[in-house]
Chain A
Amino acid sequence: MEAVINDYISRELVQDATLLPLGNATPLLETGILDSLSLLRLVMFIQEQFGIAVDDLDLVPEHFASVDTICAYLRSEAGGKAGQAGGHG
């Protein structure tokens, strides 16, 4: 997951080539890689690629601070949804 997201951000969202190669811990907000509109692009990509819809309430800087935190958030979301599905079964 980290590689896929890192690759997408590196290809599509990084404007400043000096920030490449992008580390998984590189701050995305402080460096200006992610702004409001690029976050929208990333959220759309995540939904398309992993089938995870990001809730409005989860759009907090902590979840999108770096590739690592994005993946941690997505795993917790995927785990939570799987848990909920299991609970209903």
Chain B
Amino acid sequence: MGEAAVPPRRRRPGRAGWPGTVTARRLLRRAGALPYWLAVAPMVARLPASLAYRVACRHGDWSFRYWAQKRSETVRNLRQVLGDGLSPEEAERLTKELFRFRSCDLIDVMRLRGRASSLGRLVEIRGREHLDTALAEGKGAILCSAHFGSYQSAFSLLHASGFPLTTIGRWWWNYAPGLSTAERRFWDLAYARRVLRHRQRPSIEPWPGRVQVAVQAAAALRANEVVTICSDAAPLGADRARSVEVPFLGQQARLLPGVVTLARLTGAPVLMVFVHRLADYRHQVLEISPPVPMDGETETAFGRCAAAMDTAIRTRPAHWFFWFETYDLSGLGLLPPPA
């Protein structure tokens, strides 16, 4: 059931051990996912917030305890990237927080029902004025973020609060080979449907060979809408040639500076946005920055976005979901390629 807390992040074609190898353990986890996603979590999300998020934390703790393989992988990733300054105990504590946050993220998604007011009451939005000012220029706005905190729910909340918003991003299950149609339908129903209810347009899904992505994003910006991009994703396939090296988490990481190019071509300002959870687990703060300067070389301009992501992750490491994903960390150049 550990895998059920939040959809695992996208997998890569040809990835060893996934998804061709269907182990008994994975089958059990998948079997556990169904009732949790379809029945338990929606019911828990309807409880009073303090109770709902307490239950989510317990579920996260349960996953932390019994999903030993993912737990040790995450601890190892944290220590390898953040260095020896992170003690084993601290890495263990952060990993436990990560499992809790993933579980709470699911409750956030479930609380997006209706007008999302049951989640909206728990999330303070700071910096709305920056987005208002940006949209007043009439060229739309690009919100740049990372796979950090409950970012999908946060984007949905922004839309529900009056900003017409569309996301550039791919649902992992649409691209994972070996996944059955029933499984894809399951994730569509359990996750995407809830999130996409609060979006202006269907998600713009980038993938090598999908050349229409930037034009679709530009169309949304021309309509003075908001487009979101998570710029911490590892470049795939042919996109690697267009990646740039920027300082990120103490190393030179390879990231795609598409946000800068899109901003320059459309004239839309780029604002950074991050959402983090407070110590009581149920309240969150969504912070929108003033526009990031886009002058200078592409690497320089994008380096400012990377620096903002870096700061957010270092300040609250347990909010970054890529610690779970060795493959993604390798793709970014933060870990050696898997053997």
Contacts and interface: CB of A to CB of B under 8 A. Distances in A.
Interface of A: 29, 32, 34-37, 39-41, 43-44, 54, 56, 59-61, 64
B211 A29 contact: yes
12 contacts: A35-B211, A35-B239, A36-B258, A37-B261, A40-B218, A41-B265, A43-B215, A44-B218, A44-B265, A59-B211, A60-B212, A64-B211
Interface in B207-265: 209-216, 218-219, 238-239, 241-242, 258, 261-262, 265
B206 interface: yes
User: Which one of B212, B214, B239 has the greatest number of beta carbons of chain A within 10 Å?
Assistant: B212
Contacts of B242: 35, 37
Contact of A37 (B210, B216, B265): B265
Nearest to A32: B238
Interface of A is mostly: helix
In this complex, the interface size class of chain B, counting residues with CB under 8 Å from chain A, is 10 to 19
Interface of B: 206, 209-216, 218-219, 238-239, 241-242, 258, 261-262, 265
A54 B215 contact: yes
Contacts of B209: 29, 61
B238 A36 contact: no
B265 A59 contact: no
B265 A40 contact: yes
B214 to A, nearest CB: 4
Given A35-B211, A39-B211, A44-B218, 20 more contacts: A32-B241, A34-B211, A35-B238, A35-B242, A36-B214, A37-B242, A37-B258, A37-B261, A37-B262, A40-B214, A40-B215, A54-B215, A56-B212, A56-B215, A59-B211, A59-B212, A59-B215, A60-B212, A61-B211, A64-B211
A51 to B, nearest CB: 16
A36 B206 contact: yes
A34 B209 CA distance: 10
A12 B216 CA distance: 21
B238 A59 contact: no
Contact of B219 (A35, A56, A61): A56
A4 to B, nearest CB: 20
A44 B214 CA distance: 11
